Amino acid sequence: GKRDFVDNVDSVEVVDGVIKVDPANLNGRKVFVYLACAFRYGSEDLDVIGLSFRRDIWVKRVQVYPPVGGNSPNTPMQESLMKKVGDQGYPFSFQMPTDLPCSVSLQPGPNDAGKACGVDFEVKGYVANEPDNADEVIEKKDTCRLMIRKIQFAPTTNKAGPKADITKQFMMTDKPVHLEASLEKETYYHGDPITVNVKINNETSKIVKKIKVSVEQSTSVVLYSSDTYTKPVCTEEFGETINANSTFEKSFQIIPLLSNNKEKRGLAVDGRLKDEDTNLASTTLSQGQKEMQGIIISYKVKVNLIVSSGGDVTVELPLTLMSPKPAGECIAVHARGNYFLPGGAAYGVGGWGGGCTCARTHTQAPFLKR
């Protein structure tokens, strides 16, 4: 019914769907569906000696045909799909744990090929004798796969922004420079201007020549070892001069955008479906065990004073950068179609119609038809 599933920190939306099965061509085999969260740490084109550059963080498999007992009641979305599919429709659902990472990918370089590194989620239907037998070969024509996203939206309550200050004394001066910086609110949405309030009390005989305000993204890969990569995503220099023994107070605005960072290899971006546009990766909200999260994203705002005679004063502020929760449910008219397995078909969205009131931009024909 949809591609995006919301992580509310304490709970995750159920991934529910329907698969259509024609038993005539199964030849005694069964139909399974799995949901996998995987961390891809190398492009597929690097696989030259049979090594896999993909590690499954979490996998769950269910048998949909022949049906097994103890199935939970169908969701409204499944009931709607079952009416369209008919008697050959079989529902499936997955409940993801709350400690899985959200969909995120690392931006490839201009000359990189293959799928990007990062965390992705995949729903796959397949025909096999056993659900997970390493010795059983499952042909590509016996599978049907679909990428989904696990996403988080910004909290509905926005707290007051952080504040930080520093006092620094330079050699050959008996008095310091005092710098205070603050943000108006704790959480900012992608694409919104970030207002940074700056107060300076320069008690020295030196001159503050300019002010540099920047936003840095920190990407911590915690699946194997705690490697952290920090990249600037927005840097602005302001030619404000603060003379000796004077004070200064002003607000500056900066806007970190992915469109200004398209060439930065390894920058973390929110998971994308096919070639649709996305944005800088959202801040990872706390979710318990770090070992399960794969990639953790955080941001900080840095205010740097460039002082005459080679000195500088720097203060840092934590920044939460996320997408807002859509105002309402999507009421788009969905054009649906069947995508066949030998002996079965997964039922999904073939394209998006008009009349949608949600905040997301829908791609046309998100399924690739064979």
Query: Of 177, 170, 228, whose CA–CA distance to 201 is shortest?
Result: 177
Q: Which residues of 34-72 are buried (b: 16+ CB within 10 A; e: fewer)?
A: bbbbbbbbeeeeeeeeeeebbeebbeeebbbbeeeeeee
In tens, the pLDDT along 77-91 reads 888 888 888 888 888
Q: How far apart are CA 316 and CA 302, in angstroms?
A: 5
Residue 310, sorted as left (phi over 0), alpha (psi -120 to 50) or beta, turns out to be left
- pLDDT at position 70 is 66
Tens of pLDDT, residues 133-143: 888 888 888 89
Across the chain, the runs of DSSP E, i.e. the strands, are 4-6, 15-21, 30-40, 54-65, 89-94, 104-106, 118-128, 143-151, 163-168, 177-183, 187-189, 194-202, 208-221, 227-238, 246-254, 268-270, 295-307, 311-322, 334-341, 344-352
Residues 6+ apart with CB under 8 A from 95: 12, 14, 15
Provide the pLDDT for residue 293. Answer: 61
Q: Would you state the pLDDT for residue 363?
A: 36
Structure tokens at 55: 């590690």
Q: Which residues of the chain have pLDDT under 50?
A: 329-370
**Alpha carbon distance 102, 96 (integer Å):** 11
**Domains, in order of start, for the chain:** 4-152 (2.60.40.840), 163-322 (2.60.40.640)
**How many Cβ atoms sit within 10 Å of the Cβ of residue 173?**
15
